[in-house]
Amino acid sequence: MTELEKGPKGRRRGRGARERILSASQQLFREQGINRTGMDQLCAAAQVSKRTAYQHFTGKDELVAEYLRRFDPSVLSGVFDRTDLTPRERLLAAFDIPPDTPLCPYIGAAVELHDPQHPASQYARDYKKAVAARLADTAREAGAADPEQLGEQLALLIDGAAARTRVLNADAFPTAAAIAAVLIDNAIPTTAGDHRRREEVPS
Amino acid sequence: MTELEKGPKGRRRGRGARERILSASQQLFREQGINRTGMDQLCAAAQVSKRTAYQHFTGKDELVAEYLRRFDPSVLSGVFDRTDLTPRERLLAAFDIPPDTPLCPYIGAAVELHDPQHPASQYARDYKKAVAARLADTAREAGAADPEQLGEQLALLIDGAAARTRVLNADAFPTAAAIAAVLIDNAIPTTAGDHRRREEVPS
DNA sequence: TGTTATGTACACCGATCTGTGTGCTTACCG
DNA sequence: CGGTAAGCACACAGATCGGTGTACATAACA
């Protein structure tokens, strides 16, 4: 009561204001977009006074950059660290996305901010490159002929699915997954089986 | 002089204010984005008084929708109406984009407006569907096994290239074109000449 | 000539936005 | 206890936004 619940005034601090601000950002920026989410609304949602928010972040720009920096775990690592899958399956698993996922915030940020020099835009670039690199690593692990190329191609498919889902309001990831399957089959030379869908991998 | 050049006051009307407004929209909305371009700036660039702008368009929303509606000719028809190319070549030509093209305004609008009900968002959807349909038509003309699927796949590649180009600030269309070539080769059974290795599907 | 569109120039409204300034309140810690 | 850090409530500044109101100027047409 004294710790998590608020007294009507004074220090509230249930697990840090900063956390609540970033948590609210995750929700509001994705739901409404960055530009359409004002600091007033955001602070209200985070149950944080505006004054406090500006003591944790020098401005909205920094907040946005920090907000973007908190995404890897769920999307990136969540896919690549699954040791129960073969490299090949891991590549395809990148397209298995829960159908309600609001949609790649990096593209949204790059479009909304519209300034390639903005820290968030720079981080979005870095992130996209990192994803392509991890895909390339996995492709190499899977024995692809040209891992870098395959990684870049799969990254493009993911972005295409994200953008198209956003514009059409309909899930485009199955289509992207189908293309990915073709590309992977074409790029990985042998591996016992063949092209088409191959159920399991021996080891 | 009396017609095109302006007297310091009064009616200017060199080829219609509406045209100048839309023309300025094309430039500013693409350069700066929609939300970051105010009506004041836009009217100044169009050399049109703000009052006049609001007599031609009921509001910015309508202007944005109209702005989007003026893009087909250059992109869509420009590719599909080329009778000097085979259907196959036409499919690939969709990825031949002048390297400086600012980038698909439909995706930008859908992200910036962030409201699927916005007239511009609806038109963006219609347009994307139309492109996929024309790609499917061409794919059918080229003899693809599943034209709708190929059309949807190629459309996704285009969107992926657009989005990725935007985020990474580097041309992603060559990568998309490479994927397209693979998909087309896989989907079109015969077609005399070819590159890649295609030993399968005799008929 | 006068009328009617069409347009200009410019001030202005209300809303909203990022960001501050100020004073008060509470928790923690020595 | 007293001090300090963290936070709150709230008003407010300054800018910008979409959109109007008003009075005036010009071109085309009768």
CATH number of the domain encompassing residue A88? 1.10.357.10
Write out the residue range of the structural domain in which residue A175 sits: 72-187
Domain co-membership, A168 together with A77 = yes
CATH number of the domain encompassing residue A43? 1.10.10.60
Q: Over the stretch A19-69, which tens digit does the pLDDT of each residue have?
A: 999 999 999 999 999 999 999 999 999 999 999 999 999 999 999 999 999
Chain D: positions less than 7 Å from a protein CB are 5-11, 16-23, 25-28
Number of domains into which chain B is organized? 2
HSE at residue B164, side-chain half, CA atoms within 13 A, is: 26
Classify residue A152: in a domain, yes or no: yes
Q: Over the stretch A109-162, which tens digit does the pLDDT of each residue have?
A: 999 999 999 999 999 999 999 999 999 999 999 999 999 999 999 999 999 999
Domain co-membership, B122 together with B166 = yes
Nucleotide nearest the Cα atom of A62 (by C1'): C18
Band (B139; pLDDT cuts 50, 70, 90): very high
Classify residue A32: in a domain, yes or no: yes
Classify residue B200: in a domain, yes or no: no
Place of tokens 């038109």: B123
Domain co-membership, B78 together with B140 = yes
Q: What is the DSSP letter of B147?
A: H
Q: How far is the CA of A47 from the C1' of C23 (A)?
A: 20
Classify residue B45: in a domain, yes or no: yes
- Cβ contacts of residue A169 below 8 Å, gap of 6+? B116, B125
Domain co-membership, A107 together with A129 = yes
B114: left (phi over 0), alpha (psi -120 to 50) or beta: left
Chain C: positions less than 7 Å from a protein CB are 5-11, 16-28
Interface contact flag, B159 A157, Cβ < 8 Å:
no
- B112 closest CB neighbour out of A111, A157, A176: A111
Domain co-membership, B75 together with B51 = no
User: Is B111 at the interface with chain A, CB within 8 A?
Assistant: yes
- Cβ contacts of residue B130 below 8 Å, gap of 6+? B76
Q: How far apart are CA B20 and CA B33, in angstroms?
A: 18
